[in-house]
Amino acid sequence: MGYTSKLFDARTLDARTRDYDWGQWLTPSAPPATKPSILPAESASTTPFWGKDGMGTFGLNMGQGILDMYLGMKNYGMAKDEMKQNKAQYRENFANQAKNYNTDLRDRQQARYAANPGIYQSPSDYMAINRFDEQSKI
């Protein structure tokens, strides 16, 4: 047993909407206002130069294409400059990290050598063998 409502009953809805003019909402009551043109009325519609397939449209599209090409070349140049800058920063960071690593390695070996000089290598001998050369890895 379901709930039924007279408001949404299919028979009463059909009877109420059968004679209703739904088209009044679909057709405009007044013609839409036209937008003013910068060109005179006769040249906007009759001259093939400004028409849909006219030379004016072609010229504007060609100008836009040339400007887009120019901006694309500028963006490409900026991307190349950014790549050079990123590479330079990477190389500098890598060299600094290698120096930091070598300094830490030397400090640890100096501490070991200071504690037991007879057992451990001297820091200069140790670094000659275990040094990280930052220029050979780039």
In a domain, 4, yes or no: no
pLDDT tens readout for residues 12-62: 555 555 555 555 555 555 555 666 556 555 555 556 666 666 778 888 889
What's the rounded Cα separation, in Å, for the pair 46 and 74?
A: 40
pTM tops 0.85, yes or no: no
pLDDT computed for residue 16 by the predictor? 54
**How many Cβ atoms from other residues are within 10 Å of residue 137's Cβ?**
9
Q: Residue 127 is which amino acid?
A: M
Question: What is the separation, in whole angstroms, between the first and last Cα of the chain?
Answer: 81
Whether the Cβ atoms of residue 122 and residue 113 lie closer than 8 Å to each other: yes
134 neighbors 126 (Cβ within 8 angstroms): no
> Could you report the per-residue pLDDT of 63-100, keeping only the tens digit for each?
999 999 999 999 999 999 999 999 999 999 999 999 99
Query: Is residue 103 one of the residues assigned to a domain?
Result: yes
Domain range enclosing 138:
74-138
Could you give the number of structural domains in the chain? 1
**Average pLDDT over every residue of 107-133:** 92
